[in-house]
Amino acid sequence: MASTCAQLCLRGTGPLYSKTVSSTWQYYTRVQQRIKVTRVPTKVISGLSIRGNHTTATTLTRLRWKQQICFYSDSAAKYLTTEAKEGTNTQELSRTNVGAHKTSLLPTRDAALTTENSHISLDLDPVAQPSALEEISDEEAISISVPSAIPPASTTLRDYVDKSETLSKLVQLGVNLWKLEQRPNVGSMLLRLNFNTDVTPRLLFLKDIGVEDSRFGYIISHNPFILTESLENLQARVNYLKSKNFSSETVASMVSRAPYLLNFSVNRLDNRLGFYQQQLSLSANNTRNIVARLPRLLCGSLEPVKENLKVCEIELGFKRNEIQNIVLAVPKLLTANKRKLTEIFDFIHNTMKVPHHLITKFPQVLNSKYLRLRERHLFLEYLGKAQYDPTLPSYISLDRLVSLPDETFCTELALATLEDFYLFQKTL
């Protein structure tokens, strides 16, 4: 049947029929040779001895097939070039001519492959680089290594800055990554964020409420979790503060100085404001005043505040109205260290002999540095000028005692030189 089809095709005339016949006959010849090769004897390929089983036969078949395709392309190109040059006008090809074409187009290497018990030396250079569509074994697939763009694991965010757009831009904003990487799970959270969809909307929100650009780095360095808060929650908390008559400038200042302020719910903010108003018996205006001056009162724990209030009332002996005046003047005392507060009060009240009502009048003295207060009092005592009673002559104000710089303190209060004060400090 194949011969009949070939004869029918050969009846055509012209160069086009000659090309078609040659191609068809050559393809038929390749198929028959493929069927004949059923067993491959032992062969040596690239120095390896391969037995003729089904696996090796399949491998060699694939190699021969690629080789034959290359040879077929070369032969067809040569034939078509020669035919074009000679201007062949063959009208009809006989069976003898067909046989001649078949014989001339058959590659000698194919004939050698069909001969059993023969040794072949194959040139593997053309197939040294496999095709992207070629199937590979599981072992070859496992051995392929693809370099990762981001290091799989690291103990520092520094290794990811060049690979992560989010981290690189946070550094440009002034964020201290070395602080954030010391906190658990914060580094992995930052790596998962997308700067355009996660970070940029929060920065624009902070800018809209009045926060200066220079404070972005400080806020994120202390509170990176603001980048995961929803914009709806952030806006709701800002609206609540404004509903309590906090001005827009005050809200922006509070957020800049207390980065965690907007991470707390509206209920928590409301409970904190109510706590200070009730515990200190303050008016709404005074409550806003102390919170605006020290916004971390709304963010920190209430236990230190409760403890300091008890210390002032029970241990230090202040009355409730005196505590109220002290807190309004120095809100920081609500979160001051208990030991430091007790130590300074003991020195002022028991060593300097200052009564409670004078301490209440000048509460800043409780927030001063203990060493500075001690050195200056002892220097005045050495000079015989340690007099803190406003009803007596040569009175020295407690406020000026702790607030003036050393040079002004020496010239105006101690009436001595700065060198004398420094020499006295060396004797302590």
**96-145: per-residue pLDDT in tens?**
444 444 444 344 444 444 444 444 444 444 445 556 667 777 777 777 66
CB 164 within 8 A of CB 150: yes
Mean per-residue pLDDT, 8-13: 44
Instruction: Pick the more confident residue, 100 or 286.
Output: 286
Residue 380 sits at the vertex; the CA angle it makes with 376 and 381, to the nearest 5 degrees, is 115
Mean per-residue pLDDT, 311-338: 93
**63-84: per-residue pLDDT in tens?**
565 555 554 455 555 554 555 4
What per-residue confidence (pLDDT) applies to 128? 53
Instruction: Pick the more confident residue, 244 or 10.
Output: 244
Q: Cα–chain-centroid distance for residue 327?
A: 42
CA distances from 288 to 73, 222, 270, 277, 330 (A): 90, 24, 12, 9, 14
Question: Which residue intervals of 294-366 are DSSP H helices?
Answer: 303-310, 320-329, 338-346, 356-361
What is the SS3 assignment for 43? Answer: strand
Residue 415 falls in which region: left (phi positive, over 0), alpha (psi -120 to 50) or beta: left
Mean pLDDT of the chain: 77
What per-residue confidence (pLDDT) applies to 65? 56
Burial of residue 95 (CB within 10 Å: 0-12, 13-18, 19+) is exposed
What per-residue confidence (pLDDT) applies to 337? 92
DSSP bridge pairs for 43? 50
Tracing tokens 């940029």 back to the chain, one arrives at: 200
CB 37 within 8 A of CB 113: yes
DSSP bridge pairs for 49? 44
24-38, 139-153, 359-373: least confidently modelled range = 24-38
**Distance in angstroms between the alpha carbons of the first and the last residue of the chain:** 122
Evaluated on CA atoms 34, 36, 39, 41, the torsion sign reads negative
Total Cβ atoms within 10 A of residue 354? 19
What per-residue confidence (pLDDT) applies to 123? 46
